[in-house]
């Protein structure tokens, strides 16, 4: 499939109150609610995202869940008849305070984050730029930039890059380069390791 500057959204995907960046791809049966989805990012089929920001160049596998809905556990029952009350009783209305609370539990995903198949990122979590989330992980705490996590609940496996190199990559901010500059540097993206790439471009990024 050839992507274009205009977003590619599968006909079965549902996007509500969502903004989608350039060169993006949203797969079959994905559902987005109140999402800001960054340039070049993609989500494969059957993903769900709500109340979150996704940075640029993120790779999100199938069946990923970003910010699943929490239930109000402090009540005598967590069942949604207490806040979706209008669905159950003719003379009742929904309790909007619960939906406002859910919207306040924002999830933030940085740039160049890879989220593996069937992972879940819980409400209120921030994932730093360059992080990797293992398949099936349940992320309940913030993840530092360029850190690899996995498991239930997700725990640190190792750093993707040393802190000094990670800081240099973040300063380079290739995700903000124009499309033509990405093309100009494509061969080096493909053949150079991270340190060598930064050595070459941190003082003279391509103009495109």
184 versus 78: which is more confidently predicted?
A: 184
* Measured CA angle at 116 (ends 115, 122), to 5 deg: 60
Same domain for 121 and 203: no
Burial class (CB in 10 A: 0-12, 13-18, 19+), 81: exposed
Averaged over 141-151, what is the pLDDT? 98
90 falls in which pLDDT band (50, 70, 90)?
Answer: confident
Q: Does residue 185 sit within a domain?
A: yes
Q: Specify the number of domains making up the chain.
A: 2
Q: What CATH number does the domain containing 56 carry? A: 2.160.10.10
Closest-CA residue to 66 (of 111, 148, 123) = 123
Task: Look at residue 125 in the predicted model and tell me its pLDDT.
Answer: 97
The pLDDT value recorded for residue 202 is 93
Residues 167, 155: one domain?
no
**Same structural domain, 151 and 167:** no
Catalytic residues: 71
Q: What is the mean pLDDT of residues 154-158?
A: 98
The domain in which residue 181 lies consists of 162-208
pLDDT, averaged across the chain: 93
Do 53 and 110 share a domain, yes or no?
yes
Peptide bond into 153 cis (omega under 30): yes
Q: What is the pLDDT of residue 154?
A: 97
Query: Is residue 120 predicted with pLDDT exceeding 80?
Result: yes
How does residue 63 score in pLDDT terms, banded at 50, 70 and 90? very high
In this structure, what token pair is assigned to residue 132? 């990797």
Report the pLDDT value the prediction gives residue 89, as an integer from 0 to 100.
86
130 and 205 co-located in one domain: no
CB of 36 closer than 8 Å to CB of 55: no
């Amino acid at each position: 499939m050839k992507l274009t500057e205009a977003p590619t959204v599968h006909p079965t995907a549902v996007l509500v109150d969502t903004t989608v960046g350039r060169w993006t791809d949203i797969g079959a049966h994905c559902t987005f609610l109140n999402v800001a989805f960054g340039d070049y990012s993609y989500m494969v089929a059957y993903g769900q995202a709500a109340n979150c920001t996704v940075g640029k160049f993120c790779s999100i596998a199938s069946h990923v869940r970003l910010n699943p809905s929490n239930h109000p556990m402090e009540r005598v029952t967590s069942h949604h008849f207490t806040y979706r009350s209008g669905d159950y009783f003719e003379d009742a209305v929904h309790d909007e305070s619960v939906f406002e609370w859910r919207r306040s539990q924002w999830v933030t995903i940085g740039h160049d984050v890879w989220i593996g198949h069937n992972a879940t990122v819980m409400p209120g979590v921030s994932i730093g730029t360059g992080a990797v989330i293992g398949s099936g992980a349940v992320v309940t705490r913030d993840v530092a930039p360029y850190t690899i996590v996995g498991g239930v609940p997700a725990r640190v496996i190792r750093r993707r890059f040393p802190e000094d190199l990670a800081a240099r990559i973040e300063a380079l901010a290739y995700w903000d380069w124009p499309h033509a500059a990405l093309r100009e540097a494509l061969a080096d993206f493909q053949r150079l390791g991270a340190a060598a790439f930064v050595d070459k471009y941190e003082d003279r990024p391509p103009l495109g």
